[in-house]
Structure 1
Amino acid sequence: MTLPFDLVRPDRTAAATPEALVVSRYLGDLATTAVHLPEADRAALEESTLRLLRALLTANPGAAPPPPTPLGSRMLEYVQVHVVDRDLTIAEVARVHGISERYAYLILQRAGISLADRVRGRRLAGAAEELRRVHERHVTVSEIAHRWGFPDHANFTRAFHRAYGMSPRDYRKRCGQEPGGSVREPTTICADPIKIAKER
C-alpha cells in the first residue's frame, strides 16, 4: 500500500477506536466471503479495501469535527428558533429543509452534532435561565419544565441534575437573582446558562 510512513498513525490500529472496530469487522467478513467470489469481484474489492485501510491509518484522532455546512447551519438555526416545539424531531427538520432524515442525520453527524443532545441542552439552558429570574419566582418548577418541552417533571429533574449537578429547586435557591440583579452565589454553575449552551 503506497503510503508515506510519516502519515501512518499507530494509534489508529488500536481495537478500542470505533473506526478500527468497523474496519476489523469488515476485514473479518471479507476474509470469510471473498474466497467464494469470482476473481473479477475480488479485484474490484481490493482498491476499496485499500482506501479504507488508508483512511484508518492516516486519520487524526484528535482532530475536531469540521464546522457545519451552510445547510447544517440553517438546520441548527431552525432548531434554535423552534427548540420548545413538541414536534421538533429530525423528521421535522428534514422535512422543512427538503431532505431525507438519513441525509439530515449525516450532515449533523459529520459536524459532530447530535440533534437530541443539542435540543435537550438548549431546553435545559432555557429552563435554567428562567429559574434564575427573580420575576419568575411565582412560577413553579413544573410549569417552567413544561414550557421548555419537558412534560414529565421527574424526567426533567433527572436531566437537569445531570447537566447542572443539582436539582432545579436547589439551582433556583443558589442561582436565583436578587432583586438588584446580582446572583446569590456567583459560582461557575450559576453562570449564564444560555451563553454556556451556545458555546457547547
Structure 2
Amino acid sequence: MLTETEFRTEDLAGADRFDFWRERIGRTHAPLDLHSEYAADYRAHQRVLELGAVHVWPTTHQALRFRRTPKLIRQSDPEQYHIGIPLHGTNRITWDDQKAVYGPYEIQVFDSSRAFEVNSANGPDLFSGIGIEIPKALLHLPQNRMDRLFAHGMSGREGIGTLLVQFVTQLTADTSPYLPSDGPRLGTVVVDLLSALFAHTLDADRSLPPETRSRTLVLRIRAYVQRNLHDPRLTPRAIAAAHNISTSYLHRLFQTEHETIAAWIRHQRLEHARRDLADPAMCSTLIHVIAARWGFTRAADFTRAFRTAYGMPPKDYRHQALHSPQSTAWTHC
C-alpha cells in the first residue's frame, strides 16, 4: 500500500476540531486563514497520499472559507502549486479584482506565492474534492505562462482533464495494489498529466519535453482502448488512426511498456471476460456471448486464448469459480 496519512475531526473533541483542521491544512497545503459557520463542531476527513514529491489528498468537509494572505505568504511559502478538483460542491474564488465559480470536475490551479480566497461549499451537505500539491520545479512550463492559469477553470470531463480526474479518483479509491516504492512512479504520472493539461490549455505543447508528451499519449491511448474493448475492429491500425499517428509510431510508443499494444489489448479483453465468467450475476450468460462482449468474434479463438492465458478452458474456469467453497453462486445458478 502507498504511504498515506489520514485525519478525521470526529476523532477529536468538538471544541478542538476546527483548530486541528486549520493546522492540518496548513501542513498539507500552506498556512491559510480558515473560517466556517460550523467551526464549533467541525466535520472533516482527509487522506494524504505521498507520491514522491507530489501529494494527492481526497477530502470531505463542511462549508469552509480559506484565504492565502500576503502576510501568510511572507511568513511561509513552500513554492508549490495546489490543484483543486471539486467532486461534490463548488469553489467560489476571489483573487486580485477577479471572481469565478467552479463546480464539480472543474480543475483549478493556485499558486502558494499569490493571495486568493476560496469558499468551498455544497449547500447543507459535505463538500468533497481532491487536492494535489506539486512543487513548481517539477512542472516543465515557465512561471510567466503558469501565471495565466491561476484560478483558471479546466474541464475534468473531457480530453486530458478526464485522464487526470480518472487517474487520481481511481488511485485514491483503492491504494491496496501499490507498494510504497510505486509512489514516486505514480507521482511522475500525475506530473505528466498536469503538464500536458496545462500545456494544452495554454497551447504550449512544444515547451514540453518529448518524454512527457509520449507518456501522456500512451495514457490517452490506454484510456481509448479501455473504452473500446468491445469493438472487434479495435486494432493497432485503428488506434493509430484515431490518434492521428502512424502504426509504426504506435508500436514505438509501446516498446518501453511491458507488452506490445496488441498483447495488451488481448490481455485486457481476457481479464474482463474472466471476471464476467466468475461473476455469479452473469452465470446464465452464455460463454460465447461474454466472449463477443469483449471483442472475441470467434468462440474457438476465445477458448484457445483463454486456455493459453489461464491454463484451462473458459467453461472449466467458470465452473471452478462459481462452485468453489468461497462461492455462493450454486444457490441461484
Length-normalised TM-score, structure 2 = 0.33
- Report % sequence identity: 34
Amino acid at match of 1:183: S
Distance 1:111 1:121 in 2: 14
Q: Over aligned residues, Cα RMSD in angstroms?
A: 2.4
Measured after TM superposition, the shift of residue 111 of structure 1 is: 2.6
Distance 2:293 2:235 in 1: 17
Flag the 1:129–1:177 CA change in 2: closer, same or farther, 3 A.
farther
The alignment status of 1:123 with 2:293, answered yes or no, reads no
Q: 2:273–2:291: 8 Å Cα contact kept in structure 1?
A: yes
TM-superposition CA deviations, 1:68-99 (whole Å, max 9, x none): 61111111111111112121111221112111
The alignment status of 1:79 with 2:225, answered yes or no, reads yes
Distance 2:294 2:258 in 1: 24
Flag the 1:126–1:177 CA change in 2: closer, same or farther, 3 A.
farther
Counterpart in the other structure of 2:105: none
The alignment status of 1:101 with 2:226, answered yes or no, reads no
Counterpart in the other structure of 1:183: 327
Counterpart in the other structure of 2:215: 69
TM-superposition CA deviations, 1:125-160 (whole Å, max 9, x none): 111111111121211111111111112111111110
Amino acid at match of 2:304: R
Per chain length, whose mean CA-contact separation is higher, i.e. which structure has more relative contact order (CA < 8 Å, sep 6+)? 1
Counterpart in the other structure of 1:44: none
Counterpart in the other structure of 1:134: 280
Aligned length: 117
**Structure 2 unmatched ranges of 5 or more:** 1-210, 329-333
Distance 1:116 1:131 in 2: 23
Counterpart in the other structure of 1:152: 298
SS at match of 2:308: helix
Which range is displaced more, 92-101 or 162-171? Answer: 92-101
SS at match of 2:248: helix
Distance 2:228 2:323 in 1: 27
Measured after TM superposition, the shift of residue 177 of structure 1 is: 6.9
Q: 2:230–2:292: 8 Å Cα contact kept in structure 1?
A: no
Length-normalised TM-score, structure 1 = 0.53
The alignment status of 1:89 with 2:270, answered yes or no, reads no
Distance 2:310 2:259 in 1: 21
Q: 1:132–1:177: 8 Å Cα contact kept in structure 2?
A: no
Flag the 1:98–1:104 CA change in 2: closer, same or farther, 3 A.
same
Measured after TM superposition, the shift of residue 115 of structure 1 is: 1.2
TM-superposition CA deviations, 1:92-112 (whole Å, max 9, x none): 211121111111111112334
